[in-house]
Amino acid sequence: NTYIRLSHGERGKMSKKRKRQDDFQKVKLKVGKKKPKSDNATNTNFKTQAVHVPEQLKTDASLPTNNRKLNVKDLLTQLHHYNSGVKQSALTGLKDLVSQHPSVITSHLSNILSDVSAVFTDKDPTVRAAAVRLLHFLAPRISGEQMAPFYPLVSAHLSSAMTHIVEGIQEDALKVLDVLLEHYPELLTESSNVLLKNFVELISHQKFSKEMKAGGKTSSWILSINPNRHITSQQWRLNVLTRLKKFLQTVVEGLSHSVENEAIFETDDRTGSEYMSTLEVNWEQYINGQQQIQLYEHSGSQPCIGVGTEDGLSSIENLKAFIKTLVPLLLDCWVEASPSQLVAPIPGNLLEPEAMMLMMQVLSIIQLLWKLMHQQDETQKLESWLRNQYLNDFKNHFIRNFPYSVMETLKPKKKDGTKKEKQGAAVLNGADHILALNLALCQVMVLLTNTSTVHLDTEWLEQIRKFVTESLSDGRKLSSHQLSGLLMVVWRLVLIQRNRGASEELLRAVYTQYQQQGLTLSVRTLLLHFFSGLYLREKSSNLLISRSKLLTRWLAGLPLQLAQLGSRNPLLSAQLINVIHAAAARANKELLQSLQSNVYRLYDPQDGTLVLLPSDMQHCLVQLVYFLPCISPELLSCLSRCCTMGRLSSKLATCLIRILHTRSSFGGWTTSLQDSVVKDVDYFSFLFSTLTGFSGDELAWLQNSNSNPHVRQTQFSPVRLYVTDLDQFVHHWTLTEVVCHCLSSIPSRIQCCDILQSAICKHLVGVNLLPDSTAGSVLTAVSQLIDPAFIPNECLLKFLASCCYSLLYFILTLEKNKMNDCLCRDLLWSSCLTALIHIPRLLRLMLQGVKVNGSSQEELPVIAQVLRLLLKQAQLRQHMVANAALLQQVIQDITNCKTGDGQEQWLTELHYWFSISITARPRGTTSLPVTY
Amino acid sequence: MAATAAGPEVVLSADAAGPQWSCSVWEPLSGAVITTYRGSSCGSRGLCLLNGEYLLGAQLGKNCISVWEIQRKDQLQQKIICPGVVNCLTASPNGLYVTAGIGDSIYLWEVCSGNLLIVLHRHYQDLTCLRFTDDSSHFVSGGKDNLVLVWNLYSVLQVDFVRTPEPRHVWTRHTLPVTDIHCGIGGPLARVATASLDQTVKLWGIPSGELLMSVLFDVGIMAVTLDPCEYYLFCGGNDGSIFQVNLFAGPVQRERNFQVDKESSYVFTGHRNRVTCLSVSMDGSLLLSGSHDETAKLWDIQSKQCLRTVNHKGPVTNAFLTTAPANMLNPDCKPSVSLPKFSRHMSTSEAAEGDEAGAITLSLQRGKQDVSESCLARAEELYQVMCAATDKQLLGDGENTRVRVAELEDEVKTLKKINRDLYDFSVQILTKQT
What does the alpha-carbon distance between residue B380 and residue B390 come to, in Å, rounded to a whole number? 15
CA distance B339 to B345: 17
A861 and A797 within one domain: no
Do residue B189 and residue B118 come from a single domain? yes
Domain residues for A668? 630-848
- What is the extent of the structural domain holding B400? 382-433
Give the pLDDT score at B264: 62
**Rounded percentage of chain B residues whose pLDDT exceeds 70:** 82
Q: Distances from the Cα of B55 to the Cαs of A18, A157, B79, B93, B352, in angstroms?
A: 153, 81, 11, 13, 33
Q: How far apart are CA A774 and CA A794, in angstroms?
A: 20
Q: Is residue B349 part of a domain?
A: no
Radius of gyration of chain B (CA): 31
Q: Which residues of chain A does B198 touch, with a Cβ-Cβ cutoff of 8 Å?
A: 623
Partner A contacted by B246 (CB < 8 A): yes
Rounded Cα–Cα distance for residues A190 and A307 (Å): 10
Q: Is residue A435 a part of any domain in this protein?
A: no
Residue B201 lies inside a defined structural domain of this protein: yes
Q: How far is Cα B21 from Cα B313, in angstroms, rounded to an integer?
A: 9
| B245: nearest CB among A286, A620, A654 | A286
* pLDDT value of position A230: 67
Instruction: State the nearest Cα–Cα gap between B157 and chain A, in angstroms.
Output: 18
Query: Which element (helix H / strand E) includes A877?
Result: helix A877-882
Distance between B209 CA and the closest CA of chain A, angstroms: 9
The DSSP annotation for B6-48 comes to: ---EEEEEEESS-SS--EEEE-TTT--EEEEE-SS-EEEEEEE
Average pLDDT, chain B: 81
Residue B138 has pLDDT above 90, yes or no: yes
pLDDT of residue A818: 62
**Which chain B residues touch A587 with a CB distance below 8 Å?**
124-125, 145
Q: Is residue A511, in this structure, part of any structural domain at all? A: yes
Within a domain: B366: no
State the Cα angle at A299 between A296 and A302, rounded to 5°. 110
Specify whether A732 is located in the same domain as A757: yes
Return the residue in A669, A673, A674, A746 with the most chain B beta carbons within 10 A, the one to mutate for interface testing: A669
* Interfacial B residues in 97-126 facing A (CB < 8 Å): 122, 124-125
Instruction: List the single best residue of A532, A671, A676, A741 to mutate versus B (max B Cβ within 10 A).
Output: A671
The verdict on B212 touching A (C-beta cutoff 8 Å) is yes
User: Is the pLDDT confidence value at B44 over 80?
Assistant: yes
The amino acid at residue A148 is A
Structural domain contains residue A105: no
Task: Tell me the mean pLDDT in the region B222-239.
Answer: 91
- Confirm whether B339 is domain-assigned: no
At A207, the pLDDT band (50, 70, 90 cuts) reads: low
What is the arithmetic mean of pLDDT over A329-348? Answer: 64
pLDDT at A14: 55
As beta bridge partners, residue B14 has B23, B318
What pLDDT was estimated at residue B374?
57
Residues B414, B323, single domain; the answer is: no
| Domain final residue, candidates A848, A876, A894 | A848
**Dist. CA B304–CA B268, nearest whole Å:** 6
How near does any CA of chain B get to the CA of A819, in Å? 21
Q: Residues with Cβ < 8 Å from A383, sequence gap 6 or more? A: A373, A448, A450
Backbone dihedral region of B209: left (phi > 0), alpha (psi from -120 to 50 degrees) or beta?
Answer: left
- Position A763: which residue type? H
Task: For residue B237, give the nearest of B281, B184, B291, B279 by alpha carbon.
Answer: B291
- Name the strand (E) or helix (H) holding A73: helix A72-79
B101 and B167 in a single domain? The answer is yes
- Tens-place pLDDT, residues A608-648: 888 888 888 888 889 888 888 888 888 888 888 888 888 88
Structural domain includes residue B17: yes
Residue A650 and residue A585 share a domain: no
Q: How many angstroms separate the CA atoms of A136 and A450, rounded? A: 45
B251, B268 contact by CB (below 8 A): no
The mean of the pLDDT values for chain A is 77
Task: Please work out, in degrees rounded to the nearest 5, the angle formed at the alpha carbon of residue A636 by the alpha carbons of A631 and A640.
Answer: 150
Does residue A424 fall inside a structural domain?
no
Contact A662 B146 (CB under 8 A): no
A9: number of Cβ within 10 Å: 7
Shortest distance between the Cα of B382 and any Cα of chain A, in A, equals 58
Q: Is A478 helix (H, G, I), strand (E, B) or coil?
A: coil
CB neighbour list of residue A574: distance below 8 Å, 6 or more residues apart: A616, A617, A620
For A705-709, A849-853, A895-899, B107-111, which range has the lowest pLDDT when averaged over its residues?
A705-709
**Do residues A686 and A541 share a domain?**
no
Which residue, of B307, B328, B349, is where some domain finishes?
Answer: B328
pLDDT band for position A866 (cuts 50, 70, 90): confident
Higher pLDDT, A429 or A620: A620
Tell whether B236 is within 8 A of chain A (Cβ).
no
Whether A868 has a pLDDT exceeding 80, the answer reads: yes
Query: Are B152 and B58 within one domain?
Result: yes
Average pLDDT over residues B211-230: 90
DSSP for A80-126, written as a single string: T-S-HHHHHHHHHHHHHHHHH-THHHHHTHHHHHHHHHHGGG-S-HH
- Residue B194's pLDDT band, with cuts at 50, 70 and 90, is very high
pLDDT at res. B332? 74
The shortest CB-CB distance from B213 to any of A268, A279, A300 is to A279
- Please tell me whether residues A558 and A462 are part of one structural domain: no
C-alpha–C-alpha distance, residues A602 and A610, integer Å: 6
Residues B248 and B170 in one domain: yes
Q: How confident is the model at residue A297 (pLDDT cuts 50, 70, 90)?
A: low
B41: closest CA of chain A, how far (Å):
12
What's the average model confidence in pLDDT over B335-341? 76
- The confidence band for A605, taking pLDDT boundaries of 50, 70 and 90, is confident
**Chain A: residue whose CA lies nearest to B314:** A747
Grade residue A279 by pLDDT with cuts at 50, 70 and 90. confident
CB contact under 8 A, B145 and A289: no
* Interface membership of B217 toward A (CB under 8 Å): yes
Looking at the fold, whether B128 and B260 belong to one and the same domain comes out as yes
Q: Within this chain, do residues A827 and A754 fall inside the same structural domain, yes or no?
A: yes
Same domain for B26 and B143:
yes
Query: DSSP of A651-703, one letter per residue?
Result: HHHHHHHHHHHHHSTTSS-SSSGGG--S-HHHHHHHHHHHHH-S-HHHHHHHH
B170 touches chain A (CB under 8 A): yes
Asked whether the beta carbons of residue B249 and residue A294 sit closer than 8 angstroms, the reply is: yes
End-to-end CA distance of chain B: 75
> Would residue B174 count as lying in a domain?
yes
For B81, the 3-state DSSP assignment is: strand
| Cα B141 to Cα B128: distance, rounded to the nearest angstrom | 8
| Residue-by-residue DSSP string for A896-924 | HH--SSS--HHHHHHHHHHIIIIIT-TT-
| Residue B176 touches partner A, C-beta closer than 8 Å | yes
Of B146, B263, B272, the CB nearest to A287: B263
Amino acid residing at B197: L
B95 touching chain A per CB within 8 A: no
Residue B388 lies in a domain: yes
Contact A626 B177 (CB under 8 A): yes
pLDDT at A806 > cutoff 70: yes
Q: Which of A644, A605, A609 is nearest to A624 (CA)?
A: A609
Alpha-carbon gap, residue B151 to B106, rounded angstroms:
11
In a domain, B348, yes or no: no
Question: Sign of torsion, CA A170 A176 A182 A188?
Answer: negative
Of A515, A546, A577, the domain-final residue? A546
**3-class SS of residue B183:** strand
A269 touches chain B (CB under 8 A): yes
Per CB-CB distance under 8 Å, the chain B contacts of A266 are none
Q: Is B277 helix (H, G, I), strand (E, B) or coil?
A: strand
Q: Are A250 and A363 in contact (CB under 8 A)?
A: no
pLDDT reading at A2 higher than 50: no
Query: B292 at the A interface (CB within 8 A)?
Result: yes
Please tell me the distance in Å from A248's CA to the nearest CA on chain B.
32
Q: What is the pLDDT of residue B421?
A: 94
Is B239 an interface residue toward A (CB < 8 Å)?
A: yes
What is residue B224's DSSP assignment? E
Q: Determine the residue among B88, B123, B203, B253 to mutate to test chain A binding: the one whose Cβ has the most chain A Cβ atoms within 10 Å.
A: B203
Shortest CA gap B217–chain A (Å): 5
Beta bridge partners of B308: B298
Q: Is the pLDDT of residue B132 over 90?
A: yes
Tell which A residues from 455 to 484 touch B, by Cβ distance under 8 Å: none
Give one DSSP letter per residue of B185-218, joined into a string: SSGGG-EEEEEETTSEEEEEETTT--EEEEEE-S
C-alpha dist (Å) from residue A328 to A369, A370, A389, B164? 13, 15, 11, 42
Q: Is B59 on the interface with A (CB under 8 A)?
A: no
Who contacts A90 (Cβ-Cβ below 8 Å, separation ≥6)?
A75, A76, A78, A79, A81
Closest chain A residue by Cα to residue B104: A586
Q: Give yes or no: residues A540 and A552 share one domain.
A: no
Q: Residue A376 corresponds to which amino acid?
A: Q
Q: Which residue of B has its CA nearest to A280?
A: B214
Nearest-angstrom CA–CA distance, B130 and B181: 7
Q: How confident is the model at residue A272 (pLDDT cuts 50, 70, 90)?
A: very low
Cα–Cα distance for residue pair A732/A739, rounded to 1 Å: 10
Q: What is the mean pLDDT of residues B330-359?
A: 63
Residues in CB range of A611: below 8 A, 6 or more apart? A604, A605, A618, A642, A645, A647, A648
Residues of B in contact with A269 (CB under 8 A): 170-173
pTM of the model: 0.75
Q: Average pLDDT of B335-360?
A: 60
Of B164, B173, B246, the CB nearest to A542: B164
Residues B65 and B170 reside in one and the same domain: yes
Domain CATH code at residue B168: 2.130.10.10
- pLDDT at position B254 is 61
Q: Any idea which of A548-562, B100-114, B257-271 has the lowest mean pLDDT?
A: B257-271
Mutate to test the interface with B, among A268, A274, A281 (most CBs of B within 10 A): A281
Residue A212 pLDDT:
44
Residue A566 counted as domain residue: yes
Report d(CA A760, CA A692) in Å as an integer. 9
Question: Domain check: are A533 and A652 in the same one?
Answer: no
Say if A658 is an interface residue toward chain B (CB within 8 Å).
Answer: yes
Q: How many CA atoms lie within 13 A of A347 on its CB side?
A: 10
Q: For residues B324 and B391, state if they share a domain.
A: no
Q: Which of the residues B106, B160, B213 would you substitute to probe the A interface, choosing the one with the greatest number of A C-beta atoms within 10 Å?
A: B213
> Measuring CA to CA, how many Å separate A96 from each of A77, A89, A144, A188, B197?
16, 10, 23, 28, 68
A285 interface with B at CB cutoff 8 Å: no
Confidence of residue B129 (pLDDT cuts 50, 70, 90): very high
Which of B179, B104, B14, B289 has the alpha carbon at shortest distance from A658? B179
User: What span, in angstroms and rounded, lies between the C-alpha atoms of A316 and A330?
Assistant: 20
Q: Which of A828, A848, A868 is the last residue of a domain?
A: A848
A473 and A597 assigned to the same domain? no
> What's the confidence (pLDDT) of residue A344?
46
CA–CA dist B268, B276 (Å, integer)? 14
Inform me whether the C-beta atom of residue B215 falls under 8 Å from chain A C-beta atoms. Answer: yes
- Examine residue A54 and say whether the peptide bond preceding it is cis (omega within 30 degrees of 0): no
> What total of structural domains would you count in chain A?
4
Based on the fold, state whether residues A625 and A707 are members of the same structural domain. Answer: no
Interface contact flag, B210 A295, Cβ < 8 Å: no
Closest in A272, A286, A539 to B211, CB measured: A272
Q: How far is CA B268 from CA A290, A738, B181, B301, in A?
A: 21, 19, 20, 9
Centre a 10 Å sphere on the Cβ of residue B347 and count the other Cβ atoms it contains: 18
Q: How many CB pairs below 8 A link A and B?
A: 126
More confident: B396 or A486 = A486
Last residue of a domain, one of B305, B328, B351: B328
* Residue B204 CB neighbour total at 10 angstroms: 24
Do B170 and B289 have their domain in common?
yes
- Asked if A269's CB is within 8 angstroms of B170's CB, the reply is yes
Question: Residues A776-781: what's their mean pLDDT?
Answer: 89
As a whole number of Å, the CA-based R_g of chain A is 46
* pLDDT above 90: percentage of residues in chain A: 1
For residues A826 and A723, membership in a common domain is answered with: yes
> Quick one: A27 exposed, middle or buried, by C-beta within 10 A (0-12, 13-18, 19+)?
exposed
Interchain contact, A278 vs B61, CB within 8 Å: no
Could B238 and A581 be called an inter-chain contact, meaning their C-beta atoms sit closer than 8 Å? no
Minimal C-alpha gap between A243 and chain B (Å): 40
Ranked by mean pLDDT, which of A127-131, A306-310, A724-728 comes out on top? A127-131
Strand B148-152, strand B169-171: pairing: antiparallel
Q: Are A779 and A684 in contact (CB under 8 A)?
A: no
pLDDT > 90? residue A167: no
Residue A333 lies in a domain: no
| Same domain? A683 vs A799 | yes
> In whole angstroms, what is the distance from residue A563 CA to residue A601 CA?
6
pLDDT of B202 reads 92
Same domain, B130 and B234: yes
pLDDT recorded at residue B287: 93
B34 and B136 together in one domain:
yes
State which residue of chain A sits closest to B243, comparing Cα positions: A283
Residue A145 lies in a domain: no
The pLDDT-based confidence of B408 (bands split at 50, 70, 90) is very high
Nearest to B43 among A585, A626, A671 (CB): A671
Distance, CA of A526 to CA of A514 (rounded, Å): 10
Would A499 be classed as within a structural domain? Answer: yes
The reported pLDDT for the residue numbered A411 is: 41
The percent of residues above 90 in pLDDT, for chain B, comes to: 23
Instruction: With CB atoms and an 8 Å threshold, state whether A281 touches B207.
Output: no
